[in-house]
Amino acid sequence: MKPIHINYSLTKKEFVKAYKLHQKVHKTFLKSKLPFYLAIITGVVLRFVIGKSIIFYLIPFSIFLLAVSIVSYFYLKKFFTTNLECFENVTMIFHDENILVKTPKLESNLKWDFFKKVINDQGFILLYQNKYQITIIPKRAFSNEEELSQFIELAKSKING
């Protein structure tokens, strides 16, 4: 098979969107909402046991939940900005045996088994190194649908999981 060459720079908006997709895939967003769900359950139980209103317990946890969402959004934007060289001028060449990755500060030759999982969704392909580390590839980096389809087929055949 002929190697597949892509070049791209990831935008801040794309990075945030891809990370939200990652959260959806691993349900980390729901886990971060656990305190909120516990507050609702506690409020309902206390309403019937003590007679206190559920609102008394929901307001602080709603504020907490909102604060966590806002902080995580700004953290992602700051992470992107401070690690910009990881997302700009990325060149990837996909061979049958390996993947060559080049950025202005990095050149790496990776074997396919370095990745454990591939997700194809919402304008991105996510290659998982482990549960928390991902390589984000925007679909727009491929020159046409045929090249994208070839890559997806290659990635799925090489990556188990």
**Which percentage of the chain shows pLDDT scores above 90?**
42
What is the token pair recorded at 42? 């506690």
pLDDT value, residue 112:
96
59-82: per-residue pLDDT in tens? 666 777 777 778 877 887 887 777
Adjacency order of strands within the sheet including 106-111: 4-8, 90-94, 98-103, 106-111
Distance in angstroms (rounded) separating the CA atoms of residues 110 and 124: 20
Regarding whether 154 and 93 lie in a shared domain, the answer is yes
Of 47, 82, 117, which closes a domain?
A: 82
What is the token pair recorded at 86? 């990881």
27-51: per-residue pLDDT in tens? 655 555 666 676 677 767 766 776 6
Regarding whether 77 and 114 lie in a shared domain, the answer is no
- Name the nearest CA neighbour of 28 among 134, 155, 116, 120: 134
Regarding whether 153 and 129 lie in a shared domain, the answer is yes
**Does residue 141 belong to any structural domain of this protein?**
yes
User: Can you give the residue range of the structural domain that contains 137?
Assistant: 4-9+87-158
pLDDT value, residue 159:
93
- Name the nearest CA neighbour of 87 among 32, 124, 131, 37: 124
pTM of the full predicted structure? 0.73
Q: Is the predicted pLDDT of residue 125 greater than 90, yes or no?
A: yes
The residue that leads in pLDDT, 21 or 153, is 153
